């Protein structure tokens, strides 16, 4: 079987690792205007494929996403809905995501945003007291592969943690779960920091808006590491202006790279990072995809098959 490969931003290491791991199977690197036997391609391995990537791939059965989130693939106009989509699970991202979120939570809890502004003004004013982690609750929207690892790290660091999911989940001891729309108000009311780790779906697009911010305690801090389209940008700016929120750490944006004229770049209460909260690791990604390929060849169902009806 032939596998068509495209990984945006790959420096060659992902391509080389897949070529070695697939052995007998042919890996074709997708290049613009390159001719190859499209009929022989039954599977593709991709991250951010270009617009015409899927053109003419009439026998395509499987797409392996080199990412945890598959919103861009689900929305890709060239990808037929009957093609089975398999995503990465963790692949080294859980640990990195937990570190990133912990940094943001510490930033909020220890008032580093305030001290950063004071430093700019050479202003030596001591804080209003240090709130212990045990009195600084953090909530995570999403109790999936990454959300649960973030939750465990924050819990280990002494923060009370709540997680929100669509369906009831078995959670590790000490972590409170809230489910569905009815569970959201009490989670929000108990959040000094709100972390978004949801997949982008019809239900979750634009969820981080004025109405949701209004249900958080005054002065709460937002961390968005999921997708830019979860956030209504103007509503965040308004919530910072009226001090409903004290700050935000954002890794993902409606348009990436974040356009130079975007107000987030210069906002004193917003920290911007370039979609770097967590990167999939080459070794784990290749092992996981090749394991899934072999499972499918044996007629088994691999982990990470996307349910298109729920959108993740």
Which are the catalytic amino acids?
Answer: 227, 275
Q: Look at residues 197, 68, 209, 208 and name the one whose alpha carbon lies nearest to residue 141.
A: 197
- Give me the phi and psi of 16, to 5 degrees please: -65, -40
Structure tokens at 161: 């943690």
Q: 49 contacts which partner out of ligand NDP, ligand OXD, none, CB within 5 to 8 A by kind?
A: none
Inter-residue contact 5 to 45 (CB < 8 Å): yes
Residue 87 burial by Cβ neighbours in a 10 Å radius (0-12, 13-18, 19+): buried
- Pick the closer one to ligand OXD by CB: 162 or 230: 230
Using CB positions, name the residue nearest to ligand NDP. 144
Beta bridge partners of 196: 141, 224
Smallest distance, ligand OXD to C-beta of residue 184, A: 23
Smallest distance, ligand NDP to C-beta of residue 36, A: 30
Smallest distance, ligand NDP to C-beta of residue 115, A: 26
- Pick the closer one to ligand NDP by CB: 180 or 214: 180
Residues that bind ligand NDP (CB under 6 A): 68-69, 93, 142-147, 164-167, 169, 197-201, 203-204, 225-227, 251-252, 275, 277-278, 312
Q: 147 contacts which partner out of ligand OXD, ligand NDP, none, CB within 5 to 8 A by kind?
A: ligand NDP
- Pick the closer one to ligand OXD by CB: 49 or 69: 69
CA 38 to chain centre: 32
CA 61 to chain centre: 26
Q: How many residues does the chain have?
A: 312
Residues that bind ligand OXD (CB under 6 A): 67-69, 280
Burial 221-241 (b: 16+ CB within 10 A, else e): bbbbbbbbbbbbbebbbebbe
Smallest distance, ligand NDP to C-beta of residue 42, A: 26
Whether the CA torsion 180, 228, 93, 290 is positive or negative: it is: positive
- Pick the closer one to ligand OXD by CB: 100 or 221: 100
Smallest distance, ligand NDP to C-beta of residue 190, A: 16
Q: Could you tell me the strand order of the sheet in which 161-165 lies?
A: 175-179, 161-165, 138-141, 193-196, 220-224, 245-250, 270-272
- Pick the closer one to ligand NDP by CB: 106 or 229: 229
Inter-residue contact 258 to 287 (CB < 8 Å): no
């Amino acid at each position: 079987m032939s596998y068509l490969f495209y990984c945006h931003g790959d420096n060659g290491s992902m391509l080389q690792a897949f070529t070695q791991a697939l052995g007998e199977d042919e890996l074709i690197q997708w290049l613009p205007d390159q001719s190859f036997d499209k009929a022989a391609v039954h599977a593709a391995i991709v991250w951010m494929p270009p617009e015409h990537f899927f053109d003419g791939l009439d026998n395509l059965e499987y797409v392996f996403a080199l990412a945890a989130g598959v919103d861009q693939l689900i929305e890709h106009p060239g990808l037929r809905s009957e093609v089975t989509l398999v995503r990465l699970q963790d692949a080294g991202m859980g640990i990195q995501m937990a570190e990133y979120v912990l940094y943001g939570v510490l930033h909020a809890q220890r008032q580093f945003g305030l001290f950063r502004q004071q430093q700019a003004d050479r202003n030596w004013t001591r804080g209003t007291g240090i709130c212990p982690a045990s009195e600084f609750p953090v909530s995570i929207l999403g109790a999936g592969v990454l959300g649960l690892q973030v939750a465990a790290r924050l819990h280990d660091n002494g923060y009370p943690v709540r997680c929100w999911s669509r369906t009831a989940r078995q959670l590790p001891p000490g972590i409170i779960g809230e489910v569905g729309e009815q569970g959201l108000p009490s989670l929000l009311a108990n959040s000094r920091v709100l972390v978004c780790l949801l997949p982008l779906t019809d239900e979750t697009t634009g969820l981080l808006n004025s109405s949701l911010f209004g249900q958080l305690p005054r002065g709460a801090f937002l961390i968005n590491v999921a997708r830019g389209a979860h956030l209504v940008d103007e509503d965040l700016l308004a919530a910072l202006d009226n001090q409903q929120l004290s700050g935000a750490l954002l890794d993902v944006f409606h348009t990436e790279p974040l356009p130079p004229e975007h107000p987030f770049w210069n906002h004193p209460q917003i920290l911007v990072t370039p979609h770097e909260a967590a990167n999939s690791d080459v070794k784990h990604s290749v092992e996981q995809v090749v394991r899934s390929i072999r499972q499918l060849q044996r007629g088994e169902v691999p982990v990470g098959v996307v349910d298109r009806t729920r959108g993740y």
